Amino acid sequence: MRSTCSQYKTACGFPIDTAVIGAILSMLPERPRLLATIDPAQEPPRAVRVTGVPPWHRPMTADGDLIAAVQEESAFVGAGRLGVILPARALPDLGRAVARAVPETALGDQPELESRVVVLTVAQARGLEFDSVIVVDPAAILAESPRGRSDLYVAVTRATQRLGILHHGPLPAELDTVPA
């Protein structure tokens, strides 16, 4: 029988960059952290990659902020793949705006996952990974489901090398360690 990560947690690493794990999933007692709010007994995953690129966040006041971030991040990852993870209610409008502005963008119910830029919801992103991820409106992701924290955890852990967060209003407390 083959071993799996769920059988042997200590023997398996998470395909996420060390900086992403450190900023998003660290569990310091004086501040709430995303994983700790889901399951305080859960041990954080161990990163197996080190890029030295810290996650970032910026306020988003207009669709143009998202388009600029996608263009910038897409150029940075070169031939790599960029996942843009949105709240489900935002996918139709923001997804179309990104697809119009950025060549080789896939979106829809079953987007072409080999495209350079893939715009999708948390439910669509579950189980996938991208070289870089931009999470859009984490507060809305938290609010749109009774499992909001788990959904946000899924969203931020799809990035293997780089993570960016665009947010309306203040950044949720679960993500307060992400540098600006």
With contact defined as beta carbons under 8 Å apart, do 80 and 114 qualify?
Answer: no
**Contacts of range 144-151, beta carbons closer than 8 Å, 24 or more positions apart:** 144/87, 144/88, 144/89, 149/34, 149/37, 149/38, 149/174, 150/38, 151/122, 151/123
The 10s digit of each residue's pLDDT in 102-138 is: 988 999 888 899 999 999 999 999 999 999 999 999 9
User: Which of 167-177 are b and which e, b meaning 16 or more Cβ less than 10 Å from the residue's Cβ?
Assistant: beeebbebbeb
pTM: 0.78
DSSP 45: P
